[in-house]
Structure 1
């Protein structure tokens, strides 16, 4: 196992330290920040983590992607951070992706960070590889003492960038076309080809310049989700405000927490409580959630010990800053000798972003969607040296290629036999609201 030099410091003002840490991370070509926003959850290893500077890395297209990752993770025996894009489905199920892609992200990317920093409560733990002198102490002091001037430097450049080009957000699928496409999904459901499909559409901006860190901070501030992440790979960025966990491994235990069912938050506490209660009893939303729970149970059973797949929570309402969500928790137990990659491989892509039956749904949405999903509806996360892992679902996210000046965010919804096209469209607009707002208010 790779040896890291570890030092822990205590900090009183964690909020300021986190802001400084993120600003400090921008000097590196590669940075990945994971933040739970102190959201109370049963399964948690840290409040936040920052991984920067590649020591080793793997970047590949979908061909044999899981085998390549398996080999890399096995050899490295260390923390590795990165992502698996939705299109790695083509490795798992021998499918294809031929839709338009304006972002050009690699299908799979992981790196072993030279510098790794965990935040747990008021404790900051530094874990460095190949350290020079007092590097940890020096970095800690530099981060702690960052001046307001150095922090605001990013904001100034952001304002200048914004003057260069107005952000004009366009829809890849317009309203009438959306109606036609969802109607086709409903025809497939009536024919019995599928029970449910997660149909997605892209919002995008061309020739647009943003300051990624400031946009991420704004997006995170208005959402405060438990699976937020900020990814920087040279000129490519993912600004992710995800509320959803895809898959976590803790020893022999596997945890999946699919989301299906959304309602907006209301200002009045009484109205807000009522809309949450209505969501919990909504027959259509519960049916969507239960279908995906069945799919997840089926996926987990492929690697689980006999009889170990259980539903810990079914259709529980969790409240976030902007929306209420219906979340279920499905768990299983695996043999400790099984490679951690096998559970990821056998459940990927996550059922909440595909539909049921999974392969038929993926073929149909590939045909009807206009954009290659790429990192959207893929997953960002990490492996530990002990072979544990934790991965989110890349939703409520802005993807940005700085070189191509291309901004993209996608939203989707589960289409079932009970779906009303107009309501599905409204739900998409609700999900798009936060991303649209932060981009347009960034000018």
Structure 2
């Protein structure tokens, strides 16, 4: 174990150092307390082995890769793996061209818990030396980047109302309708962007992920699925309210969210969906809701979060447990397959890593994955920049309000980009 005098400085230098490798995964809880987290920060750098896979047999490849590499592994699962889980397809625009699945076994791993730092490497002393020798990152002057929407405001509202028509007819009950904001020929410094984003919008599942010039720069507040011993934990988010500067008004916003019929409705429907998904991996009778309609406050927003747990069936692999619940219900809706089919029809771009998950497998056979939301995706080769935001459409949803919620979720990223 290593201890340092200035932990925030060490974390920044460690991220700078890690970002020079072709494969980097930085996961930061930003000080949020969580009974299911194993550490405050994880930093993986360099790839001893890696897996790149696309829809077809990606989960089978991941299963074998995990068997071959039973220690630490980090990576991501793209939303469009749904096409492997169900009989679905994706034909929408894809400017990023990311793979559907990528994992790597790190050469170096740094785990920070409270004031203790553990360096797992063949050369831990050399790693520490290289990190402490890092010079302070110089903020690079960057021209403001304006993200273009795939939908105009009127088009989004019209489409949301058409989706409500499907709900009125009973085709679906609740869905997540997403839109992409994008920029072409965009030149950004991903490290500087992430550092600023993590300051503007610190969240418990923030992530800086890099592989071969592609980046996922995230400020996610949501856990998709974790395993602790024989227990699976999912914490879907449905329900959002803006933070306000005035203390009394901010508290009132929390209470309004806590009692809002539409927000409660969408949350409980997704909780039911997650409960149903978990039954596929659970010992009979063990699925339960530990917390329903919990209100959690972040720097930009208040969120309604529920916690659903179960005991894992004996003999079921971690990869199979993830596949049984993928994609996460908070990003699909109910019924799941019908919602995914309809959103492929109404949305105008491929979700890709957005609505997917980033996380890790650990040597003790546990895992933890977030939901890739509030995240900027960047392909530095073709200089394509992408940000998605979504809103829950229910029978009681007001389309104009859902559009404004998308902009609220985009606020932190827009602010860092200097976007109008």
TM-score of Structure 1 vs Structure 2, range by shorter chain: over 0.9
| Pairs within 5 Å for 1:37-436 | 37-128=30-121, 131=122, 135-148=123-136, 151-152=137-138, 155=139, 158-159=140-141, 162=142, 167-436=145-414
CA contact (8 A) 1:54 1:113 kept: yes
Query: 1-side partners of 2:53 and 2:284: how far apart?
Result: 35
Query: 2-side partners of 1:248 and 1:224: how far apart?
Result: 21
Query: 2-side partners of 1:315 and 1:191: how far apart?
Result: 28
Q: Could you say what secondary structure the match of 1:10 adopts?
A: coil
Query: 2-side partners of 1:12 and 1:70: how far apart?
Result: 41
Q: Could you say what secondary structure the match of 1:284 adopts?
A: helix
Query: 2-side partners of 1:147 and 1:92: how far apart?
Result: 46
CA contact (8 A) 2:19 2:45 kept: no
CA contact (8 A) 2:214 2:380 kept: yes
Unpaired segments ≥5 residues, structure 1? 1-7
TM-aligned CA deviation for residue 62 of structure 1: 1.3
Moved more, 363-372 or 170-179: 170-179
- What is the RMSD computed on CA atoms of the aligned residues? 1.2
TM-aligned CA deviation for residue 334 of structure 1: 1.0
Query: 1-side partners of 2:262 and 2:211: how far apart?
Result: 40
TM-aligned CA deviation for residue 276 of structure 1: 0.3
CA contact (8 A) 1:261 1:288 kept: yes
Query: 1-side partners of 2:339 and 2:390: how far apart?
Result: 14
Query: 2-side partners of 1:37 and 1:259: how far apart?
Result: 18
TM-aligned CA deviation for residue 244 of structure 1: 0.2
The superposition leaves residues 398-440 of structure 1 with CA deviations (integer Å, 9 ceiling, x where unpaired) of 0001111111100001100001111111111111111111111
Query: 2-side partners of 1:237 and 1:94: how far apart?
Result: 29
The superposition leaves residues 210-253 of structure 1 with CA deviations (integer Å, 9 ceiling, x where unpaired) of 00011111111111100000011121100000000000001100
Q: Could you say what secondary structure the match of 1:44 adopts?
A: coil
CA contact (8 A) 2:82 2:326 kept: yes
Query: 1-side partners of 2:244 and 2:161: how far apart?
Result: 31
TM-aligned CA deviation for residue 12 of structure 1: 2.1
Query: 1-side partners of 2:337 and 2:403: how far apart?
Result: 24
TM-aligned CA deviation for residue 335 of structure 1: 2.6
Query: 2-side partners of 1:113 and 1:65: how far apart?
Result: 20
Give the TM-score normalised by the residue count of structure 1: 0.93
Q: Could you say what secondary structure the match of 1:22 adopts?
A: helix
CA contact (8 A) 1:216 1:239 kept: yes
Query: 2-side partners of 1:136 and 1:342: how far apart?
Result: 34
Aligned to 1:5: none
Give the TM-score normalised by the residue count of structure 2: 0.98
Query: 2-side partners of 1:42 and 1:398: how far apart?
Result: 28
Query: 2-side partners of 1:127 and 1:327: how far apart?
Result: 34
CA contact (8 A) 2:223 2:369 kept: yes
Q: Could you say what secondary structure the match of 2:227 adopts?
A: strand
Aligned length: 420
Query: 1-side partners of 2:297 and 2:43: how far apart?
Result: 26
CA contact (8 A) 2:187 2:383 kept: yes
Aligned to 1:3: none
Unpaired segments ≥5 residues, structure 2? none
Query: 2-side partners of 1:127 and 1:136: how far apart?
Result: 6
